[in-house]
Chains A and B, each alone.
Chain A
Amino acid sequence: MSDQKFDEFFKGRLQSHSSAVSSDMWQRIQDAREKDRRRGFWWLNYKSAGLALIALMLTIAVYYSTVNSQNDRQAKAETQEVSTQETSRRQNSITAKPSLADSNNPITSDEAVDITTGKSEAGAPSTILQPDVSTIHPSNASALEKEPTAGSITKNNDEENIDLSSGSKAAGSNQKLNVPGTANVFSNQTFATREKVRRNQSFYNKKVDDLLPASSDFMASSLPLTAEENASAKTNIHPFIGAFEAQSFKLNSSKHSLENLSIKPINDCPSAFGERPNDWFAEVYFSPDYALKQSKGINNEYLRRKDSTENFRSAFTAGFRLSKGIGEHLLLKTGVQFSQINEKFTYQSENERRTTTVITIRTIIRGVGDTLRISDTSTVQQIGYRVKTTYNRYRSFDIPVLVGFEWGNDNFRTNLNTGLIFNLQSWQQGDMLDTSYSPVSFDKGGTQVFKKNLGLGVYASIAFLKRVGTTTEIFAEPYFRYNISNMTNAASPFNQRFHVAGLNLGVRYKFSGNRQHY
């Protein structure tokens, strides 16, 4: 028997032979599958775990953003409230003066300037009548002008500058406080009134000093002043307070109102190491990539021929990441990204035969006058080669989970990142050589060659960030992604995976986290 017959004999007898299988084999297979499932529980469910992580971080980001904005509003409201209280205190203190003045320096109702707020005391006809308003407006100034008063307060529109005379000056000049858009109520006071006020000046100044600590003056400067205050300021206000009030008036001279002037309290302290990275960042990036293909298989000749038909063309990655500071320098990052690798598949099939059918129709007119139509059918066979070109696409949708270490100054920062890339889904589309060296297609629906999930990848990068605005930075981030798993499945005649090197170019936005760091 020849070797060939000998081989055929063995092949024929063993090819379709069935052997006995132990009865517990099915149970063993079930147990092994269950064991694999338990072991791979996390890896099988990391898609949902990754999505849950992103959802959690987004929720925390929205929560912190909301809390911060509420804190800002609350701080602003508290500032206004404190200022209002301060105004009230000032009013009370000023209101109290006449009573003190009554006891120490009695002012007769006929000639004294009553600086009480709102309601007039006994002898009201002789007091300066002030409208019960909180802010001085031109119309109110007019009202002041129209009211006949014992003090003869008149408007002086020409003088709108503020006299910031110090307290050491004479009482008369010290009281010369002109309110923009209002009457220069003091300049035209009668000499008797001025003298009366000047006598009480030292006492009132002292009281104001006691009642108004200097620390609160700055805050109070943003408040609207009542007409009474303005009136009192003309006679009794402390020069320091008057200076700030005057400054506020000057800043708002165009609007004739002080309400719009607010000084926001500083509640964000930089650390001793320079400006701290804020808690939350959003990054958007795009990267041109270069993919390194790694192929292995039991048939090197097949791999060589297959790889020779596939050439890298281009690749890119685009994504979005959220970052959370978890220390002085550490950042935790996650997000989503899309990657695509493009290859050109070129296959040249030799000895391609193309058969063309040619039909020739001729019309012959014979001598007898009839016409004869003749059609000849022939075939032409051409032998040559055919080139098949296809653009293969390898797409993947991933979740990066990274840890970053960042350092630098306000304008330029450096960031080292490392972590894992979890593949959510991958799609492949194009043509490739099969083991018989014929082109076969693989499409997005998946084949038995490629996996729908690429598994894990290891990511490492270094980012350089340049500040371009108060909350915005641009960055360049060279990176390398090493895929741990093959993109081909077990039944495939070869193993293949891509490792990607790229340069992320993007923008990082810093959320307005005002939490103070120490």
Chain B
Amino acid sequence: MLFEQYAGKMMTVCLRYSKDTMEAEDMLQDAMVRVFNYIHQFKFEGSFEGWIRRIVVNTALKYVQKKKVSFNDIDDHSEQAPRIDAYAYSNLGEADILKLVQQLPEGYRIVFNLNVIEGYSHDEIAEILKIQPGTSRSQLVKARKMLQNQILNLQKIAV
């Protein structure tokens, strides 16, 4: 069944853009309704999963636009990203990584998702979110830095 096959993956997409599970479920519901409403228009000109994922991402972005997210920089006094041993990454499961992404500030999280996971360029992100490309770049840098700090903290806890 189509829903069973793709719902889990699409739920992950929604979780990446939302701050909690409840909001992610709302996103998923709206997105799947759209998928079923327009499924007859899919012409097999590309990956079906890619088509669904695009609808889910667009739905998530609509939620973001409704919330009017501010893309302000978070004060961070550390000059450089912390150095993390490679083995620290190998200990991270998908659920942990997802949680790390969810814990990012909203602006960081959206830019990180769009650039790193979805593959949008900074110019495209700037158009989508109606921000400057430079803002997108700085948000991404700070998101990476914050994620690395969090991973470092996890490593310290594990040790």
Chain A positions within 8 Å of B, measured between CB atoms, are 1, 3, 6-7, 9-11, 13-22, 25-26, 28-29, 32-33, 36, 298-301, 446-448, 489-491
Contact = CB atoms under 8 A, between A and B. Distances in A.
Given A1-B86, A299-B128, A301-B123, A21 B33 contact: no
B33 A33 contact: yes
Contact of B36 (A13, A33, A446): A33
A55 B58 CA distance: 42
A10 B97 CA distance: 7
Contact of B38 (A3, A11, A448): A448
Contact of A29 (B12, B29, B94): B29
A14 B33 contact: no
A11 B144 CA distance: 13
Taking residues whose C-beta sits less than 8 angstroms from the other chain, chain B's interface range is 35 or more
18 contacts: A6-B144, A10-B97, A13-B94, A15-B117, A16-B9, A21-B7, A21-B25, A25-B7, A28-B25, A29-B33, A29-B36, A32-B29, A33-B37, A298-B128, A301-B127, A446-B43, A489-B41, A490-B37
- Lowest 6 A-B CB distances belong to which pairs? A18-B8, A19-B11, A17-B94, A298-B128, A7-B116, A19-B12
Interface string B114-128: 011100000110011
A18 to B, nearest CB: 3
B134 to A, nearest CB: 17
Given A9-B89, A491-B54, A447 B7 contact: no
Contact of A20 (B11, B16, B112): B11
Contacts of A301: 123-124, 127
B26 to A, nearest CB: 9
Contacts of A1: 84, 86, 89
A14 B8 contact: no
Nearest to A447: B43
Given A3-B144, A21-B28, A489-B41, A32 B33 contact: yes
A14 B101 contact: yes
Nearest to A26: B3
Contacts of A26: 3
A298 B41 contact: no
Contacts of A15: 117
Nearest to B51: A491
A50 B86 CA distance: 67
B29 A28 contact: yes
B15 interface: yes
A192 B3 CA distance: 119
Interface in B41-97: 41-43, 45, 51, 54-55, 58, 61, 84, 86, 89, 92, 94, 97
A452 to B, nearest CB: 8
A490 B29 contact: no
Interface in B1-23: 3, 7-9, 11-12, 15-16
B interface, over-half SS? helix
Looking at A11, A17, A446, A447, the one whose CB has the most chain B CB atoms below 10 A away is A17
Nearest to A443: B43
Contacts of B33: 29, 32-33, 36
B146 interface: no
Contacts of A19: 8, 11-12, 15, 98
Nearest to A450: B41
Given A19-B8, A19-B12, 20 more contacts: A7-B144, A9-B89, A10-B97, A10-B117, A10-B147, A13-B97, A15-B117, A16-B9, A28-B25, A28-B29, A32-B30, A33-B33, A36-B33, A36-B37, A298-B124, A298-B128, A446-B43, A489-B38, A491-B41, A491-B54
A3 B148 CA distance: 10
Nearest to B3: A26
A437 to B, nearest CB: 13
B93 to A, nearest CB: 8
Nearest to A24: B25
A6 B41 CA distance: 37
Given A14-B117, A300-B127, A490-B55, A21 B11 contact: yes
Nearest to A6: B144
A149 B51 CA distance: 111
Nearest to B33: A32
B32 interface: yes
Contacts of A14: 12, 16, 94, 97-98, 101, 117
B136 to A, nearest CB: 13
Contact of B41 (A7, A13, A446): A446
Nearest to A445: B43
Contacts of A32: 29-30, 33
Contact of A18 (B9, B55, B128): B9
B98 A17 contact: yes
A33 B3 CA distance: 14
B124 A29 contact: no
A490 B148 contact: no
Contacts of B124: 298-299, 301
B127 A299 contact: yes
Contacts of A491: 38, 41-42, 51, 54-55, 58
Looking at A10, A18, A298, A301, the one whose CB has the most chain B CB atoms below 10 A away is A10
A490 B34 contact: yes
